């Protein structure tokens, strides 16, 4: 069961970031300096441009490295009884959980799971609607 919770948290976190990035591109967010050829891209057409440029290979490489590193922690959790909770990598740089009671921490963890589930559905819907309409946000 821990493996399923780990996967749910990972996919939820990725979709929360993906939803933000997908919409940001359509609202005009860019990382400069960009070649002029990429100025008119939407979220849907950016995918093909990145494949042609070769950036998807780099993305695949770095995601593979991150997955390999995180799989070590997951295997320790599953087979070595390390006491690590699913999705907990010991990172809290902004101190969201510091000074909170156990009840508040559990409530925040539940919110993260629910927001992740919503983000998975929202991202799937946004991508589908963006491809069908071939237009920028709000995809109508």
Binding-site annotation: residue ranges for chlorophyll b: 13
Instruction: Dig out the tokens for 25 from the structure.
Output: 């591109």
CA distance 28 to 136: 10
Residue ranges for the binding site?
8, 11, 13, 50, 112, 115, 117, 129
Residue ranges for the binding site for chlorophyll a?
8, 11, 50, 112, 115, 117, 129
80, 87, 118, 115: which is closest to 3 by C-alpha? 87
**Burial state string for 122-139 with b = 16 or more CB within 10 A and e = fewer than 16:** bbeebbeebeeeeeebeb
């Amino acid at each position: 069961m821990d493996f399923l919770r780990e996967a749910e948290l990972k996919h939820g976190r990725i979709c929360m970031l993906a939803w933000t990035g997908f919409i940001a591109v359509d609202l005009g967010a860019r990382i400069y300096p960009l070649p002029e050829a990429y100025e008119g891209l939407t979220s849907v057409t950016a995918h093909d441009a990145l494949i042609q440029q070769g950036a998807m290979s780099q993305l695949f490489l770095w995601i593979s490295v991150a997955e390999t590193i995180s799989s070590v922690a997951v295997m320790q959790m599953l087979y070595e009884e390390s006491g690590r909770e699913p999705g907990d990598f010991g990172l809290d740089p902004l101190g969201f959980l510091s000074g909170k009671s156990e009840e508040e921490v559990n409530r925040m963890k539940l919110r993260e799971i629910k927001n992740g589930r919503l983000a998975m559905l929202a991202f799937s819907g946004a991508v589908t609607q963006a491809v069908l309409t071939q237009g920028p946000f709000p995809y109508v």
